């Protein structure tokens, strides 16, 4: 295996990859040799993301999918494995945020946030785990948030989803580590993307999508006898 392409031949599926962090992760993994499958709900943005990757010389499979729906996940996995091979890296990046006082939150917003940010991780992991178990190897990286550790006004729904994701990640790691599967969570602070809620933070001092992508690459190239269970990612300067 080439030292500059440590993921050569490996297949990585990145969810929520039509823009921002997910797109940066796809580029970063491709740069070190991975074959890339991306998905997102918005097919138009997904096509644009695939075109962007192809302009960088990356061969990519783009599959429209709502990963909060089990019915969308089976074809996503099937198309990826038929086109590229067995999935060896799963990056659960898809996420949404609805912010505001808890007393004003709607039930539909709760369902949307928890289904996208938490249920999707369960569904996707359940789908790829049997193959990883049979091969006794694999990486699952969950993009969580420092909001999974810190409360803030207006963050009830989002924080609940990310606190839950960290608990899920730790339990998944214990369930799967006997089979050589490594589960990790990355907790970034605010990242300068269109996802971030309005704030007075200086975007030049915020984390960039490429910072999260670098952390993912670090995790999936870790030596096989150990794994990085959690990464807390903060900007050098407070925005």
Residue 5 domain-assigned (yes or no): no
Dump pLDDT digits (tens) for 169-204. Answer: 999 999 999 999 999 999 999 999 876 555 667 888
Provide the number of structural domains found in the chain. 1
Per-residue pLDDT at 239: 74
- Residue 110 near residue 97 (C-beta atoms within 8 A): no
Residue 6 domain-assigned (yes or no): no
Q: What would the mean pLDDT of 4-15 be, rounded to a whole number?
A: 96
List the catalytic residue out of 27, 91, 158, 215: 158
Residue 20 domain-assigned (yes or no): yes
Residue 42 domain-assigned (yes or no): yes
How far is it, in rounded angstroms, from Cα 21 to Cα 25?
Answer: 6
Of 226 and 202, the one with more pLDDT: 226
Dump pLDDT digits (tens) for 41-78. Answer: 999 999 999 999 999 999 899 999 999 999 999 999 99
Residue 238 domain-assigned (yes or no): no
Residue 156 domain-assigned (yes or no): yes
How far is it, in rounded angstroms, from Cα 24 to Cα 28?
Answer: 6
Dump pLDDT digits (tens) for 208-224. Answer: 999 999 999 999 999 99
Dump pLDDT digits (tens) for 82-113. Answer: 999 999 999 999 999 999 999 999 999 999 99
Q: Which of 24, 36, 53, 1 is nearest to 214 (CA)?
A: 24
Mark whether 49 is an active-site residue: no
As a dihedral over the C-alpha atoms of residue 103, residue 142, residue 76, residue 65, rounded to 10 degrees, the angle is 30
Average pLDDT of the residues of the chain: 95
- Residue 170 near residue 162 (C-beta atoms within 8 A): no
Does the pTM of the predicted model rise above 0.85? Answer: yes
Sign of CA dihedral 202, 204, 210, 211: negative
Residue 239 domain-assigned (yes or no): no
Q: Which domain holds residue 189?
A: 11-233
Radius of gyration of the chain (CA): 17
- Residue 209 near residue 21 (C-beta atoms within 8 A): yes
Using the predicted structure, report yes or no on whether residue 1 has a pLDDT greater than 70.
no
Q: Which of 84, 80, 101 is nearest to 158 (CA)?
A: 101
Residue 4 domain-assigned (yes or no): no
Question: 120: domain CATH number?
Answer: 3.40.50.720
DSSP labels, 148-166? GT---TT-HHHHHHHHHHH
């Amino acid at each position: 295996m080439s030292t500059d392409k440590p993921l050569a031949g490996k297949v990585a599926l990145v969810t929520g990859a039509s823009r921002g962090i997910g797109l940066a992760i796809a580029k970063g993994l491709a740069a070190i040799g991975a074959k890339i499958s991306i998905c997102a709900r918005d097919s138009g943005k997904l096509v644009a993301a695939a075109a962007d990757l192809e302009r960088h010389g990356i061969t990519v499979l783009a599959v429209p999918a709502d990963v909060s729906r089990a019915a969308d996940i089976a074809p996503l996995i099937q198309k990826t494995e038929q086109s590229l091979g067995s999935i060896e890296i799963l990056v659960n990046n898809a996420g949404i945020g609805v912010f505001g006082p808890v007393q004003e939150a709607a039930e539909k917003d709760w369902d949307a946030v928890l289904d996208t940010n938490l249920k999707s991780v369960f569904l996707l992991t359940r789908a790829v785990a049997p193959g990883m178990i049979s091969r006794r190897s694999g990486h699952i990286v969950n993009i969580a948030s420092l909001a999974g550790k810190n409360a803030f006004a207006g963050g009830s729904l989002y924080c609940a989803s990310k606190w839950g994701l960290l608990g899920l990640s730790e339990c998944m790691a214990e369930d799967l580590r006997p089979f050589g599967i490594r589960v990790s969570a990355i907790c970034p602070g605010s990242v300068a993307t269109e996802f971030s809620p309005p704030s007075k933070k200086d975007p030049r001092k915020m984390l960039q999508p490429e910072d999260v992508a670098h952390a993912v690459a670090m995790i999936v190239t870790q030596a096989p006898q150990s794994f990085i269970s959690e990464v807390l990612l903060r900007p050098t300067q407070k925005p």
